[in-house]
Amino acid sequence: MSTTDIAEQTSQADIEAIEQVVATVEHTQNNELPDEFVALFRADAIWTTGSGKRLFGRDAISTFTHQVLPGGMQGATVTFEVEHVLFIRPDVAAVKVRQVYWTSDGTEVGTPLFVMAKEGGRWLLTACQNTSVLGSD
């Protein structure tokens, strides 16, 4: 097996692992599981919510998530789809996600950017920005 083949296999395995993290974000939000959601973040992570609230560190992300997630998905569903993965380094990736919220009022599209780092063989959310798309597509 060539070095290129190994790199391609590693990248594909990493992409699949990253997609699984994004699927877990979707699952934890739809099922209102704040502890499982927070466990996806590094301890020193940065999260900017769709409304622009800046959260620094897993503790702040946890406090916020425990305030808004229980009951926050009542009557709503969200999906996340990985649109693009850019490996900055083999252990750091910028992940562009398409997010769609469905509610009785209609849909809202978001375009989060998740910067993820691989630590101890596990991909973790590190610096994330959630942004709404005006005039949702």
Cα–Cα separations (whole angstroms), residue 26 to 7, 22, 39, 47, 109: 28, 6, 14, 16, 14
Going by C-alpha positions, the residue among 93, 94, 99, 61 that lies closest to residue 77 is 99
* Statement: residue 137 has pLDDT above 60: no
* Statement: residue 135 has pLDDT above 90: no
* Statement: residue 23 has pLDDT above 50: yes
- In one-letter notation, the amino acid at residue 94 is A
* Statement: residue 131 has pLDDT above 60: yes
Residue/partner pairs of 55-60 with CB below 8 Å, 24 or more apart: none
* Between residues 112 and 70, the one the model is more confident about: 112
Give residue 3's pLDDT.
Answer: 47
pTM score over 0.75: yes
Residue ranges and CATH numbers for the domains of the chain are 3-129 (3.10.450.50)
How confident is the model over 25-38, as a mean pLDDT? Answer: 96
Instruction: Give the Cα separation of 106 and 93 in Å (integer).
Output: 32
* Statement: residue 7 has pLDDT above 60: no
* Whole-angstrom Cα Rg for the chain: 15
